[in-house]
Chains A and B, each alone.
With several copies, the nearest count.
Chain A
Amino acid sequence: MANIDFAIGIGGEAGQGIATPGNILARIFARRGLHLNAYNAYQSIIRGGHTFLTIRAGDHPVRSMGDRLDVLIPLNQDTMDRHLGRMDAGSRVVFDVDKIKPGAAPAEVRLCPLPVKQLTAGDKLAANTVAVAATLQMLGIEFEPLEASLTKQFERKGEAVVKQNVGFARAGYDYAATNFHAFPFRAPKLATPLGILTGNEALGMGGAAAGVKFYAAYPMSPSTGVLMWMARHARQLGIMVRQVEDEIGVMNMLVGAAHAGCRAMCATSGGGFALMTEAVGMAGMLETPLVCIDVQRAGPATGVPTKTEQGDLWQALGAGQGDYPRFIVAPTTQLDLFTTVPELFNLCDRFQCPGLVLSDLMLSEGTASVDPADLNFNVPIERGEIIFPNGNGGAANPFGGANDRAYLRYRLTPSGISPRAVPGVPGHIHVAATDEHDEDGTLISDEFTNPHKRQAMVEKRGRKLAAALALIPAPRLVGPETAQVTLVGWGSTEGVIREAVEKLAAEEGIVANQLAIKWLVPFHTEAVTRLLTRAQRVIIVENNYSGQFARYLRSETGFAAHGHIRKYDGEPFMPHHLVHAVKEQLAGATALSVPRHEILV
Chain B
Amino acid sequence: MSTVIEEAVVPPAAAAPTKESYKFKVHPDWCPGCGDFSVLNALQTALFELGLAPHQVLVISGIGCSSNLPGFINTYGMHTLHGRALAVATGAKLANHDLTVICTGGDGDGYGIGGNHFLHTMRRNVDLTYIVMDNQIYGLTTGQTSPTSVKGMKTKSTPYGNVENPINPIPLAIVGGATYVARGFSGKQKHLVELLKGAIQHRGFSLVDVFSPCVTYNKDNTYQFFTQRVRLLEEQGHDASDFASAIQRGYEWGEEIPIGLFWKRTDLPALDELEPVLADGGPLAFRPLGVSPAQAAAVIQELL
A positions within 8 Å CB-CB of B = 15, 27, 30-31, 44-49, 193, 195-197, 201, 205, 208-211, 213-214, 216-221, 224, 227-228, 231-249, 252-264, 271, 278-279, 282, 286, 301-302, 370, 372, 375, 377-379, 381, 383, 388-390, 392, 401-405, 408, 412, 422-435, 438-444, 446-448, 453, 456
Let me know if B287 and A238 touch, CB within 8 A. Answer: yes
For A243, list chain B residues within 8 Å (CB): 144-145, 157-158
> Given A236-B295, A438-B2, A442-B2, A245 and B290 touching (CB < 8 A)?
no
The answer to whether the Cβ of B230 comes within 8 Å of any Cβ in the partner chain is no
Interface-central residue, A46, A252, A256, A271, by most chain B CB under 10 Å: A256
- Closest chain-B Cβ to A582's Cβ sits at a distance in Å of 30
Closest Cβ–Cβ distance, residue B155 to chain A (whole Å):
9
On whether the beta carbons of B289 and A219 are closer than 8 Å, the reply is no
Cβ distance A282 to chain B, nearest Cβ, rounded Å: 5
Q: Nearest CB to that of A249 among chain B residues?
A: B87
A426 shortest CB reach to chain B, Å: 3
Query: Is A44 within 8 A of B160, CB to CB?
Result: no
Q: Assess A224 versus B10: contact at CB under 8 Å? Given A216-B91, A257-B94, A442-B71.
A: no
Question: Given that A233-B299, A253-B90, A404-B74 are contacting pairs, would A446 and B31 also be in contact in the complex, using a CB cutoff of 8 Å?
Answer: no
The reply to whether A47 and B31 form a contact with Cβ atoms under 8 Å apart is: yes
Q: Which residues in chain B, 255-304, are within 8 Å of chain A measured between CB atoms?
A: 275-278, 281, 283-291, 293, 295-296, 298-300, 303-304
Which residue in B26, B91, B115 is a CB contact (below 8 Å) of A252? Answer: B91
- The answer to whether A271 touches B55 (Cβ under 8 A) is no
Least Cβ–Cβ distance between B258 and chain A, in angstroms:
27
Q: Taking the complex as formed, is B188 at the interface, i.e. its CB lies under 8 A from any CB of chain A?
A: no
Does B4 lie within 8 Å of A434, measured CB to CB?
Answer: no
Q: List 17 A-B contacts (CB under 8 A).
A: A47-B216, A211-B289, A236-B295, A248-B87, A255-B91, A260-B96, A261-B285, A262-B95, A383-B289, A388-B285, A402-B10, A402-B12, A423-B99, A429-B54, A429-B76, A438-B3, A443-B79
Q: A214-B91, A404-B10 are in contact. List 9 more A-B contacts (CB 8 A).
A: A210-B290, A214-B95, A235-B276, A240-B277, A252-B91, A257-B91, A282-B80, A282-B81, A423-B58
Q: A425: nearest residue on chain B (CB-CB)?
A: B55
A444 to B8: give the CA distance in the assembly, Å: 21
The 7 closest A-B pairs by CB, nearest first: A211-B289, A256-B91, A195-B303, A261-B285, A431-B77, A426-B13, A253-B91
Contact (Cβ within 8 A) A244 B286: no
Q: A213-B95, A255-B80, A423-B76 are in contact. Are A31 and B55 (CB under 8 A)?
A: no
A379 to B290, CA, bound (A): 8
- Least distance between A547 CB and chain B CB atoms (Å): 25
Chain B residues positioned under 8 Å from A286 (CB to CB): 78
Q: Given A224-B142, A429-B74, do A210 and B81 touch, yes or no (CB 8 Å)?
A: no
B230 CB to closest chain A CB, in angstroms?
Answer: 25
Q: Does B203 contact A (CB under 8 A)?
A: no
Bound CA–CA A379/B293 (angstroms): 11
Q: How far is the CB of B41 from chain A (nearest CB, A)?
A: 18
Q: For the complex, is B75 an interface residue (Cβ under 8 Å from A)?
A: yes
Whole-angstrom CA separation of A214 from B13 in the bound complex: 29
> Which of B116-124, B169-177, B246-254 lies at the binding interface?
B116-124
Task: Specify which chain A residues have a CB less than 8 angstroms from the CB of B115 in the assembled complex.
Answer: 245-246
B276, closest chain A residue (CB): A235
B139 CB within 8 Å of chain A: yes
> In the complex where A260-B99, A434-B63, A440-B4 touch, is A228 in contact with B157 (Cβ < 8 A)?
yes
Check B158 against A442 for contact (C-beta < 8 Å). Answer: no
Kindly provide the distance from the CB of A268 to the nearest chain B CB, expressed in whole angstroms.
12
A245 x B113 contact (CB < 8 A): yes
Instruction: Name the B residues within 8 Å of A210 (CB-CB).
Output: 289-290
A235 to B147, CA, bound (A): 22
B25 interface hit (Cβ, 8 Å): yes
A197, B303: Cβ atoms under 8 Å?
Answer: yes
Interface string of B1-44 (1 = CB under 8 A from A): 11111001010111000000000011001111000000000000
Residue of B nearest to A404 (CB): B10
Chain A contacts for B63, CB-based, 8 A = 302, 434-435
- The reply to whether the CB of B192 lies closer than 8 angstroms to some CB of chain A is no
Interface residues of B (CB under 8 A from A): 1-5, 8, 10, 12-14, 25-26, 29-32, 53-56, 58, 60, 63, 65, 68, 70-71, 74-84, 87-96, 98-99, 112-113, 115-117, 119-120, 138-142, 144-145, 147, 156-160, 216, 275-278, 281, 283-291, 293, 295-296, 298-300, 303-304
B80 touches A240 (CB 8 A): no
Min distance, Cβ A213 to any Cβ of chain B, angstroms: 4
* Chain A: CB-nearest residue to B160: A235
Residue in A379, A405, A422, A440 whose beta carbon sits within 8 Å of that of B285 in the complex = A422
Chain A nearest CB, measured from B288 CB (Å)? 7
Q: Are B290 and A209 in contact (CB under 8 A)?
A: yes
Which among B58, B71, B157 has the greatest number of chain A C-beta atoms within 10 A?
Answer: B157
Question: Which one of A45, A196, A448 contacts B303 once the chains associate, using CB atoms below 8 Å?
Answer: A196
- Are A302 and B81 interface neighbours, CB within 8 A? yes
A340 to B25 alpha-carbon distance, docked (Å): 43
Residues of A with C-beta under 8 A to B30: 46-47
List residues of chain A with CB within 8 A of the CB of B291: 208-209, 211, 237, 377
Q: Tell me how far the C-beta of B199 lies from the nearest C-beta in chain A, rounded to whole angstroms.
A: 19
Known: A282-B80, A424-B98, A453-B1. A240 touches B12 (CB 8 A): no
Q: How far, in angstroms, from A572 to B86 measured CA to CA in the complex?
A: 36
* Across-interface contacts of B119 in A (CB, < 8 A): 245
Other-chain residue from A233, A234, A388, A405 in contact with B4 (beta carbon distance below 8 A): A405
Q: What residues on A are CB-neighbors of B3 within 8 Å?
A: 438-440, 442, 444, 448
Whether the pair A447, B88 counts as a contact (CB closer than 8 A) is no
User: In the bound complex, do residue A435 and residue B79 qualify as a contact, i.e. CB atoms below 8 Å apart?
Assistant: yes
B97 → chain A, closest Cβ, in Å?
10
**A546 → B minimal CB distance (Å):** 22
If A44-B140, A243-B145 touch, whether A256 touches B90 (CB-CB below 8 Å) is: yes
Among candidates B76, B284, B300, B303, residue contacting A213 with C-beta atoms closer than 8 Å: B284
Residues on B with beta carbons closer than 8 Å to the beta carbon of A231? 156-159
> Quick check: B275 and A227 within 8 Å, CB to CB?
no
Shortest CB–CB separation between residue A581 and chain B, in angstroms? Answer: 24
B275 is contacted by which of A228, A240, A401, A433 (Cβ under 8 Å)?
A: A240
CA–CA, A528 to B14, complex, Å? Answer: 55
The distance from the CB of B37 to the nearest CB of chain A, in whole angstroms, is 13
Bound-state Cα–Cα, A68 to B18, Å? 52
Q: Which residues of A contact B285 (CB under 8 A)?
A: 213, 257, 260-262, 388, 422
Asked if A224 contacts B144 (CB within 8 A), the reply is yes
Please name the residue on chain B nearest to A377 by beta carbon.
B296
Q: Is the CB of B295 within 8 A of A237?
A: yes
Residues of A contacting B216 in the complex (Cβ-Cβ under 8 angstroms): 15, 46-47
- When the two chains form the complex, which single residue of B29, B82, B296 contacts A48, counting CB atoms closer than 8 Å? B29
List chain B residues, Cβ under 8 A from A214: 91, 94-95, 284
Nearest-Cβ distance from residue B14 to partner chain A, whole angstroms? 8
Whether the pair A431, B281 counts as a contact (CB closer than 8 A) is no
CA distance A236 to B141 in the complex (A): 25
Among residues of A, the one whose C-beta sits closest to the C-beta of B70 is A431
Whole-angstrom distance from the CB of B62 to the nearest CB of chain A?
9
Q: Which residues of B contact A242 (CB under 8 A)?
A: 90, 94
A195 touches B94 (CB 8 A): no
Chain B residue numbers with a CB within 8 Å of A15 are 31, 216
Residues of A within 8 A of B8 (CB): 405
Q: Name the residue on A nearest B113 (C-beta).
A: A246
Are A432 and B78 closer than 8 Å at their CB atoms? yes
Contact B87 A392 (CB under 8 A): no
| Contact partners of B77 in chain A: CB under 8 A | 430-433, 441
B4 surroundings in chain A (CB, below 8 A): 405, 440
Most buried by A among B8, B117, B276: B117
Q: How far is the CB of A298 from chain B (nearest CB, A)?
A: 14
Residue of B nearest to A381 (CB): B289
Q: Which residue of A lies closest to B285 (CB)?
A: A261
Contact residues in A for B54 (Cβ distance below 8 Å): 404, 429
Please state if A249 and B117 are interface contacts (CB–CB under 8 Å).
Answer: yes
